[in-house]
Structure 1
Amino acid sequence: MRGSTAGLPDTFQGNGTTYYTLITVLDLLFSALIVCPCVVGYWRSVWTLMDIYVVPENQLVSAVISTCVGLCGHLFFLLFQKVLEGHFHPDKNRILYYLVSRLYTACFAFICVNGWRGPWDLLTVHTEKDFKSLFVTTSVGLVALISMRALRNVSSPPCVIVNDTVKGYFEVITMFRIPVSGRVSFFILDCIFSVVIVGTLVVFIWRGLWIMVDIFLFPDDPEASAHGSLILGYSIIAVLFIMQPIVRNVCNKLSGAARLLFADLFIIVCLVGTINVWRGIWMCLDIYFLPDNKVLSCWITLTVSLVLLILLGCSNSLLVRGVYIDAEEPDGKCVVLPCYYLRIIFQAEKLKKINKKMQMYEKPEKLDNIENNHIVTISGIVDEDDCGGIDNRANSDILKGLDVP
C-alpha cells in the first residue's frame, strides 16, 4: 500500500498545464473511486472469512494463527525476493512470469491481511476498547514511527496507487536497506525488524484511530456512522488533493527538521481521511451487500476486487510491504500523493513516440552536424531535466526537427 514519488514526472514533456491537470484529476478519481473500494473490498472479505473459518470460537487462538501466517509469509517473501526476481522475468517467459507474479500478489495479499488481523485481534483480546487504552497504543505507534522516520508507512489507497510494473515486482524494501547479497544474519535481522516492529506499530495506529471513530461517530447507528465516515473521509482526501500544490510549495521552502515535521503532519491528516474512507466502505459492504449471507458476500467481493485490480494492472496496491523513509524525496515531492496511473501510461507512450521518431535520425548521413546525441530509451519515467543522456542543446534541435513539442 505504500509508494514513493521518487523518479516520477512532475509534468508531461511538451504538454500544457491544463492537460496535465486533467490527467491528474482523472488519476485521483481513479484511485478514490475504483482502486480504493477494490482494495478495501478485498481486505474486508479476507479478514471476515478468517473470522468465520479460523477457530471462530476462540479469538486468541485465531489471532495467533493469523499472526504466524503473516509473520512467516512476510519473512519468506523478503528472504526469497532475489530468487523470484532471478527466475521469473517476461524476457525469459512472458506467460510464466505473468502467472507467477499474479499468484505472488494473491498469496502476499492474503498474508498481508493476516499480518494485520493477528496483531489487531491480539490487542483486542489483551487491551480495553476505551479511549485511554486506544490513545496510549496510538501515541506509542505515532511517536515510534516519527522517531524512526517511518510514519509514511501508514499510507494506503486512495492516497497511493502501486502499479504492477515489471521492474521491482518482487522487491521488498527493508528498514535499513541491507542488501540480500550482504551478510545474511544482518539481512535477516533487518527483515524481522521491518516486519515485526514497523509493521506492528502501523497496526497500532490504524486500530487506535479506527476504533476511536467507532466510539465517537454515531456509535448507536451503524448506517449513519458508515455514511458519516465516507463523507468525512472523502472530504478530507478531496481537500488534500486540491491543496497539494500549496503544500508542496511550502514543503519545498522548508529544510531539516521543519520539513520532516511538516511532511509528517501532512501524512497524519491523510491517514485520518484514509481510515474514514476505509471504514465507510467496509461498513457499507457489511450493511448493504448480502447482509444475510456474509460468506457469499465476502467471496464475491474478494473475487471481483482481485480480478479487477489484476486486469487494471494495479493489484500490488493490495500489499503492505516494504519500509519507506519519511521525506526521502527531493524538494516538495515528499508530500505529493503517489497516485500515478494514467500519467505513467501516457508519459510512457509519449516517450515511445519520441524514441521512434529519433531512430529515424540515427543514420550517420542525417547526423553529420550533430554531436553527442543518443537515442532515448524507455526504461522508465524520467523528469524533464533528465533526457536519458542526451545533450540538452542538441536534443532540443532534434525535437524541433521532429515536430515534437
Structure 2
Amino acid sequence: EAILRWLDFLIILLLIGPLTVAYWRGTWSLMNVYLFPNDDVISAWTSFAIGTSVSLILNFAQGNLQNKFARRNVVFHVLFRVYIYVFGLAVVNHWRGCWYILDKYTNMTVLSAVISVIVPIPILLVLRACGNLVAAPGVILVDISDTPFKVGTRFAAEVSISWTFIGDVALTVIFIGSLIVGSWRGIWLLFDIFLFPTDKKNSALSSVGIGYGTLFLLVLLEAPVSNLLRQTRKLSARILMEDAFKLAAWVGVLNVWRGFWLVCDSYILPDNPVQSYWITHGVGIGGLLLLQGGRSVLVAGCVVDGETVDGSGV
C-alpha cells in the first residue's frame, strides 16, 4: 500500500502537475498572442469577461448537463472532453484577465505584490476557502466521476433556478475566484522580484526545487497530520491545522507552477514562442485527457476548510 501511495504521488507530481502547468502556460500565452495583442487593457478585460461569463454559464448549467448526459455512452465521453476543454479555456481567461487587470492598475511592485496577498488571504480565511488556493499537483481532479459536471460552491446551495443558487455561484466564481488569483499573483510577483530576478533559468530551477522540496516534506507529514485531524473534534483547531497545511502546500504548488512555466519559456523553442505555446497547450491537455486527469486544469469550484472530520482535509 505504501509503495502504491508513493507511485501515485510520483505520477501526480511528475506527470499531472507539469502537464497542467504546460496547458496553462500555452493557453495563457496564446491569449497574449491572439486576444487584442496591441491593447493590454482591452485584452485583460476581455479575458476577464469571457472567463467569468463562460464559468458562470457552466456552473448554472451543471444540473441540466448532469441530467442530459446521465448515460455513459460515446457521445457523453466526447462531449465531456469538449466540456473540460471549454471550461479550461474559461478558467484560464478569468485568471489571465484578473491578473493583468491587477498588473495594469496597481503596477508590478513589491507593494502591489504584498497588498495582493495580505488583502485576499484574511478574507479567504474568514470564508474558510483557503484550500482553494491549492492546484495540481497539490490536488487533482480525475475524469472518472459519478457527478462529472458538478462544480462545488461555497455554501453548497442546491442546484436550482433560485437567487440562492445564483448568488452562491457568483460568490464562488467571481469573488472567491478572483481573491485566489490575486493571492497567486502576489506571491508569484514576489518570487519574480527577489529570486534571481536577472537570471531566468536559475530562477526557474530554484522555484522547481523549492516547490518539490516543500511538497515532498508535506507528503511525509500528511499521514500524521491526517491522524491528528481525525482526533480533533474542535472545529476551530481543525480549521487552523488544515489552513496551515494548505497554505504551505499552496506555496509549494505555486513554485512548481512558476518553475515549470519559466522552464517552458527558456527551453521549449525559445526562438519560436508561438509554436512553443501551441506545443505546450496541446501536449498539456492531450496528456491530461489520456491520463484521465483533464479536470485538473479546472482551478474552479470551492472546497470548505475544516468541513471533513475523517482527516481527508489535507
TM above 0.5, one fold? yes
**CA distance in 1 between partners of 2:145 and 2:185 (Å):** 33
Q: Which residue in the other structure is 1:321 paired with? A: 300
Q: Which residue in the other structure is 1:7 paired with? A: none
Letter in 2 for 1:38: L
Give the counterpart of 1:146 among 118, 125, 140. Answer: 125
Give the counterpart of 2:230 among 243, 252, 273. Answer: 252
8 Å Cα contact 1:38-1:309 kept in structure 2 = yes
Give the counterpart of 1:292 among 257, 271, 274. Answer: 271
**CA distance in 1 between partners of 2:306 and 2:164 (Å):** 25
8 Å Cα contact 2:285-2:294 kept in structure 1 = yes
Q: Which residue in the other structure is 2:214 paired with? A: 236
Q: Which residue in the other structure is 2:88 paired with? A: 109
Q: After the TM superposition, which of the residue ranges 295-304 and 146-155 deviates more from structure 2? A: 295-304
2:97 corresponds to 1:131: no
**CA distance in 2 between partners of 1:276 and 1:258 (Å):** 28
2:27 corresponds to 1:46: yes
Q: Offset of 1:253 from its aligned partner?
A: 3.6
Q: Offset of 1:166 from its aligned partner?
A: 3.7
Q: After the TM superposition, which of the residue ranges 126-135 and 44-53 deviates more from structure 2? A: 126-135
Specify whether residues 100 and 328 from structure 1 end up closer, same or farther in structure 2 by C-alpha distance, changes over 3 A only.
same
**CA distance in 2 between partners of 1:331 and 1:165 (Å):** 23
8 Å Cα contact 2:235-2:306 kept in structure 1 = no
Q: Offset of 1:305 from its aligned partner?
A: 1.6
Q: Which residue in the other structure is 2:46 paired with? A: 65
Give the counterpart of 2:262 among 278, 283, 301. Answer: 283
Instruction: Kindly provide the CA deviation profile for residues 149-178 of structure 1, in whole angstroms up to 9, marking residues without a partner as x.
Output: 011011111111211124110111111211
SS at 2:313 equivalent: helix
Instruction: Kindly provide the CA deviation profile for residues 117-148 of structure 1, in whole angstroms up to 9, marking residues without a partner as x.
Output: 00000000000222222112211111000000
8 Å Cα contact 2:229-2:309 kept in structure 1 = no
Asked which structure has the greater CA Rg, the reply is 1
- What RMSD in Å do the two structures reach over aligned CA positions? 1.2
Give the counterpart of 1:270 among 221, 230, 249. Answer: 249
2:223 corresponds to 1:207: no
SS at 1:333 equivalent: coil
Q: Offset of 1:25 from its aligned partner?
A: 0.1
Give the counterpart of 1:86 among 58, 67, 71. Answer: 67
**CA distance in 2 between partners of 1:157 and 1:123 (Å):** 24
User: Could you say which structure has the higher helix fraction?
Assistant: 2
Give the counterpart of 1:216 among 169, 194, 197. Answer: 194
Q: Which residue in the other structure is 1:36 paired with? A: 17
Q: Offset of 1:333 from its aligned partner?
A: 2.0
Q: Which residue in the other structure is 1:375 paired with? A: none
Instruction: Kindly provide the CA deviation profile for residues 250-291 of structure 1, in whole angstroms up to 9, marking residues without a partner as x.
Output: 333432212211110111110111111000000000000000
Letter in 1 for 2:176: V
SS at 1:164 equivalent: coil
**CA distance in 2 between partners of 1:51 and 1:282 (Å):** 15
2:222 corresponds to 1:225: no
**CA distance in 2 between partners of 1:79 and 1:242 (Å):** 39
Gaps of at least 5 residues in structure 2 are: none
SS at 2:119 equivalent: helix
**CA distance in 2 between partners of 1:21 and 1:50 (Å):** 42
Instruction: Kindly provide the CA deviation profile for residues 328-379 of structure 1, in whole angstroms up to 9, marking residues without a partner as x.
Output: 11142212xxxxxxxxxxxxxxxxxxxxxxxxxxxxxxxxxxxxxxxxxxxx
**CA distance in 2 between partners of 1:242 and 1:128 (Å):** 39
8 Å Cα contact 1:289-1:297 kept in structure 2 = yes
Instruction: Kindly provide the CA deviation profile for residues 13-33 of structure 1, in whole angstroms up to 9, marking residues without a partner as x.
Output: xxxxxxx11110011100110
SS at 2:107 equivalent: coil
Give the counterpart of 1:178 among 145, 150, 157. Answer: 157
8 Å Cα contact 1:90-1:98 kept in structure 2 = no
Instruction: Kindly provide the CA deviation profile for residues 177-203 of structure 1, in whole angstroms up to 9, marking residues without a partner as x.
Output: 11123x522211211111111000000
Letter in 1 for 2:313: C
8 Å Cα contact 1:88-1:100 kept in structure 2 = no
Percent identical residues: 36
Give the counterpart of 1:120 among 99, 105, 115. Answer: 99
**CA distance in 2 between partners of 1:311 and 1:89 (Å):** 22
**CA distance in 2 between partners of 1:292 and 1:89 (Å):** 47
Q: Pairwise mapping of residues 332-347 of structure 1 onto structure 2 (< 5 A)? A: 332-335=311-314
Gaps of at least 5 residues in structure 1 are: 1-19, 336-405
Structure 1 stretches of at least 4 aligned residues deviating more than 6 Å after TM superposition: none
Instruction: Kindly provide the CA deviation profile for residues 94-121 of structure 1, in whole angstroms up to 9, marking residues without a partner as x.
Output: 1100111000000000101001000000
